[in-house]
Structures are given as C-alpha cells and as structure tokens.
Amino acid sequence: MNDFTNNNNNDCHRLLAALGEETDPLLTRVVDRARRRDGLLPSREAIENGPLADVGDPAALFFEGQACDEDFLLARLACETMRLDGTSAERELAAVSLALLEASSIVYRRRLLVSHTAAEADARLAAAASGVPSDWARLLHAAMRMPLRASA
C-alpha cells in the first residue's frame, strides 16, 4: 500500500482543470489536425482572403503593422461574425484570424484585443501557431514574446 500522505491536492486540481478547454475549441481542433497531419489547415491564401481582408490587405495591415485602431475593430467584427455564422471550415478560419489579430495587436499596439489575460492570449497564440503557414506563425511567435501594456 502506498503512503497515506495527501499533500498535493492543488496539483491534482490543476491537472483535472487541464481536461477543460484552455482556449477556443475551434483552435483546439486546428491543433489536433496539425498534430495528426490528417486534414486541411488554413492556407496563406485562405487567411489573406478571409475575414481579415474585409478591411484591406491583411499582410500590410496586420503583418506589417499598418492597421489603425478602427481597422482592428472592424476586422475583429468580421471575424466574430464569421465565427458565429460560417461553415465549419469558415469558423475555424475565423478563430485563427482572431488569433492573428490578437498577435498583431500585441506586437504593434502592445495590448490584447480578444483575450482577457496574458495566459489566455498565450494559449490562443500557441494553438493558432500550430496550424498556420510559417510567415503568419512568425507573427504569432513574436507576439508570444512581447510584453503587454494592459489587458483588453
């Protein structure tokens, strides 16, 4: 029989909490497909013609940092609309696009756009980075290392 000490309930509680969703379930689906390499992931073309394109050229606005606050706001609205009303693939693309917007906001504005905490943003960015093309993944990885000014 094992010893009868019981001093790590907090760790056990944290481990059980790991069974819950730590980020957008749509992004978790992207992570799973990236892990299994058995399905389509958002392509560069899909990202750059998706909801981020509603306000202009996504690469110039959000990758290179030319977006103003209003661009962020409008792009976020476009993403959230698609996330609610789109097909399964569109909803995933919207979730990925929201993560990219979050990354751009962190890198160029030093503040969160969608997430409420740095930990939430970290999980969102990492999950999205597992399934996007390498150039957009660089933006996500850069954001993961950026200090933040304030939460959303």
Question: Would you say 6 or 88 has its CB closer to other proteins?
Answer: 6
Do 83 and 75 touch, CB atoms closer than 8 A? no
What contacts 89, CB < 8 A, 6 or more positions away?
Answer: 40
How far is residue 13's CA from residue 17's CA, in Å, rounded to a whole number? 6
Question: Would you say 27 or 78 has its CB closer to other proteins?
Answer: 27
Question: Is 119 a residue that touches other proteins (CB under 8 A)?
Answer: yes
Q: How far is CA 40 from CA 29, 45, 60, 73, in A?
A: 11, 13, 25, 28
Q: Interface residues for other proteins in 1-30 (CB under 8 A)?
A: 1-2, 4, 6, 8-19, 28
Pick one of 52, 101, 129, 139: the residue that binds other proteins (CB under 8 A). 129
Backbone angles phi, psi at 85, to 5 degrees: -105, -5
DSSP symbol at 56:
S
Question: Would you say 67 or 139 has its CB closer to other proteins?
Answer: 139
DSSP symbol at 54:
G
How far is residue 48's CA from residue 58's CA, in Å, rounded to a whole number? 6
Size of the site for other proteins (CB under 8 A): 38
Question: Would you say 107 or 128 has its CB closer to other proteins?
Answer: 128
Pick one of 86, 90, 91, 130: the residue that binds other proteins (CB under 8 A). 130
**Least CB distance to other proteins at residue 22 (A):** 8
Which residues contact other proteins by CB under 8 A? 1-2, 4, 6, 8-19, 28, 31-32, 34-35, 118-119, 122-123, 125-132, 137, 140-141, 144-145
